[in-house]
A and B are shown apart, each in its own frame.
Chain A
Amino acid sequence: MTDQEKVALENASPCEQTRSGPCYRPNVDILEKDDELIVMADVPGAVAEKVDVDFADGVLSVHAPVDESRQTDRKYLVQEFGIGDYCRSFRVSEQIDPSRITAECRDGVLRLHLPKSEAVKPRKIAVEAH
């Protein structure tokens, strides 16, 4: 992956919300394998069924709403983190096959698989000896 492509994976567009309340940018790991990119995002407390992964115009957006029952007016003795939805978006290069993107959410970690399109997969070239 070139530097340019890495930059392209940066936040592509600011997060848009339809719901009021705080929205956090989850920490992510981005890994590359021979045949796919994997994006792992920390979304603790998010409801797996409501996680929304959207791919449009080359921008992959992730919106993970948090369980609303947690957003109560508690009187905290110590509050070090806020509770709110998670959103973040990435611009994905054309090398990805958008129709085969899959997502799973387990233990508060959202894992997205972005399979590379056939054209860019590394291919071993056999050298013929004469």
Chain B
Amino acid sequence: MVFRYLSTRHPVYQLRDEMDRLLSGMFQSAPLAAMARREGPAVNVWEEDDALRVEMEVPGVKNEHLDISVVENELSIKVDLPDHDEEGMTYHRRERPVGSFSRVVPLPVEVDAEKVSAELSQGVLRVTLPKAPSAKPRKINVSVAE
């Protein structure tokens, strides 16, 4: 299985990724650093004030091919993309991945598993994971001592 972002990157970026992977244990939180040893389609993760957002590129995937679950502090995305062989066809080139693959994304903050939502549009899966109340930023008012 070949993924665009792994295989076709310029060697300089591969080197950078490798350096990132080596150094990430020192500077990053441990769960996210563990993702450097990934398999499966690429994900982007970012944080907003009230939610974590995960984006994954899954071209050709439909709702029924997806299985998304949140267990404790891990988001797991399984994709089962059936092979699209048809009768009377010859493949001259086959770069697009097929088959089943999965990703487990360790979540750096506590999320409200009940309110997790996901949408699929134009081959991009977006998962929104609202933070648990305890993980949301809270403004602390400082009272002036008399």
Which residues does A use to contact B, with CB under 8 Å?
A: 1, 6, 9, 24-34, 37-38, 40, 42-48, 67, 74-82, 107-109
Contact = CB atoms under 8 A, between A and B. Distances in A.
Contacts of B96: 27-29, 40, 42, 109
Which of B2, B44, B58, B62 has its CB near the most chain A CB atoms (within 10 A)? B44
B122 interface: yes
Interface in B30-65: 32, 35, 38, 42-47, 57-62
B47 A75 contact: yes
Given A28-B96, A44-B122, A47-B122, A77 B89 contact: no
A23 to B, nearest CB: 12
B59 A42 contact: yes
How many residues of B sit at the interface, in one of the four size bands? 35 or more
B25 interface: no
A46 B124 CA distance: 9
Nearest to B89: A31
Nearest to A81: B42
B18 to A, nearest CB: 14
Contacts of A74: 44, 46
Contacts of B91: 29-31
A30 B91 CA distance: 6
Given A30-B91, A107-B123, A80 B42 contact: yes
A38 B83 CA distance: 16
Given A27-B2, A78-B43, A80-B44, A108 B122 contact: yes
B57 A77 contact: no
A75 B60 contact: no
A29 B94 contact: yes
A75 B124 contact: no
- A-B pairs, top 3 by smallest CB distance, nearest first, are A108-B123, A44-B123, A80-B42
Contacts of A25: 4, 8
B44 A29 contact: no
22 contacts: A1-B90, A1-B92, A26-B4, A27-B97, A28-B93, A31-B92, A33-B90, A40-B96, A42-B57, A44-B124, A48-B122, A74-B46, A76-B46, A77-B32, A77-B45, A78-B35, A78-B43, A80-B42, A81-B43, A107-B59, A108-B60, A108-B123
